[in-house]
Amino acid sequence: MNIAIDGPAGAGKSTIAKAVAKELGYIYVDTGAMYRAIALYILENKIDVEDEESVCRACNEIDIQIKHEDGIQQVYLNGRNVQADIRKEEVGNMASTAAAKKPVRDKLLTLQRNIAETNDVVMDGRDIGTFVLPNAEYKYYLTASVKTRAMRRYKELTEKGETPDIARIEADIEKRDYQDMNRDIAPLKQAEDAIYVDSSDMTIEQVVRFMCDRVK
């Protein structure tokens, strides 16, 4: 059984997908984390992301592994746990740029399909319902307004003791939406058979309930 949850940055996909997976006893697979691991490699090794040959070479040097420890996904980049390092803002922005490149998408597609073939999964990302798992039994497109998503991110960073700039967060979200929705390969869009969920005025619990109640 596979559940696909797609949607733009900051829509709450990972929080919701994690909770849905826990309730149903499935494995949660965060595909954004895989793109982030590749982005981290690109940043750390100062690879020119616009140079196709360099990106291709980097993809051949990269080994990404997903493990679940106490039900929580851990991403390993060439044997190193990079779970904490990939959460940085600059890594997310680079992930969005790198995700438009064919060698990067090809590399992760096989990995994602393999995991879904051998497990019951709740997989979140941008192209899961449309491209990675077109036959997923349940598909959701989870979104929220740019203002709501920016405010959620702002609160998250403030709680961590940072002093973020809300206008900057909004601009980053808009840029990422644009890149993710307008790239040539597997752009973010709602699958025809996905259920649209706007979480702007919903609590996490309401969204989780809504999704779980539909799964038989």
Q: Which residues are at the interface with ligand DC (CB under 6 A)?
A: 9, 31-32, 35-36, 92, 95-96, 99, 125-128, 176, 180
Residue number with CB closer to ligand DC (139 or 176): 176
Residue number with CB closer to ligand DC (47 or 180): 180
- Smallest gap from Cβ 216 to ligand DC, in A, equals 26
Alpha carbon distance 207, 200 (integer Å) = 10
- Smallest gap from Cβ 42 to ligand DC, in A, equals 12
Residue number with CB closer to ligand DC (150 or 216): 150
- Smallest gap from Cβ 95 to ligand DC, in A, equals 4
Which pair of structure tokens corresponds to residue 38?
């590749």
Give the list of residues 6+ apart from residue 190 with CB closer than 8 angstroms, or none: 6, 129, 141, 196
Compute the half-sphere exposure of residue 89: CA atoms within 13 Å on the CB side of its CA: 15
Give the list of residues 6+ apart from residue 185 with CB closer than 8 angstroms, or none: 100, 102, 105
- Smallest gap from Cβ 202 to ligand DC, in A, equals 19
Q: Is the dihedral of CA 42, 67, 173, 105 positive or negative?
A: positive
In 3D space, the residue among 52, 146, 45 whose CA is nearest the CA of residue 98 turns out to be: 52
Residue number with CB closer to ligand DC (145 or 216): 145
